Amino acid sequence: MIQVPRAQPAHKMLTARLAELHRTLLNAQAIGHPAANNPYALLQAVMHDPAFAWLRAYSDLILRIDEAGAKGATPSAEAMQDFLAGATELTEGDNETQSKTRNFLLRRDVAQAHGALREVLVELRRSLSQ
């Protein structure tokens, strides 16, 4: 599990938790896939195999957050609200990504990463509303 110091900026805390969940979901999705034991083949599968397409919603959100925080910038409060809404939609919304995520929640690593993301979402919502 990725340890995130509490003193980190909000966008970095969110990115770390999203990346952790994304990694555990990718590993879970890769189980039994022919490319699972070859990192190069797995990368190609992640980019092109429809079985992995649902994970792009996570990577797209991570990329948006990273771009907003590029070169030491701090995303605006409005941008953070948008990022929190996007992460909430991925974890709690009624969509394909959340449905696929739910299929893996019985795996301990996925459940822990999912729970850690939800905790950070609550904490960040609380801190942004103050």
How many CB atoms within 10 Å of residue 45?
A: 20
pLDDT surpassing 80 at residue 3: no
Which position has the token pair 């070169």?
A: 71
How far is it, in rounded angstroms, from Cα 49 to Cα 44?
8
What confidence tier does 17 reach under pLDDT thresholds 50, 70, 90? very high
Top-confidence residue, 121 or 70: 121
pLDDT digits (tens, 9 = 90+) for 35-56: 999 999 999 999 999 999 999 9
**Which residue in 27, 17, 3 sits closest to 104, CA to CA?**
27
Question: What is this structure's pTM?
Answer: 0.89
Which position has the token pair 């092109």?
A: 48
DSSP tag of 35: T
Cβ neighbourhood burial of 106 (10 Å; 0-12, 13-18, 19+): exposed
User: What residue ranges do the domains of the chain occupy?
Assistant: 10-129
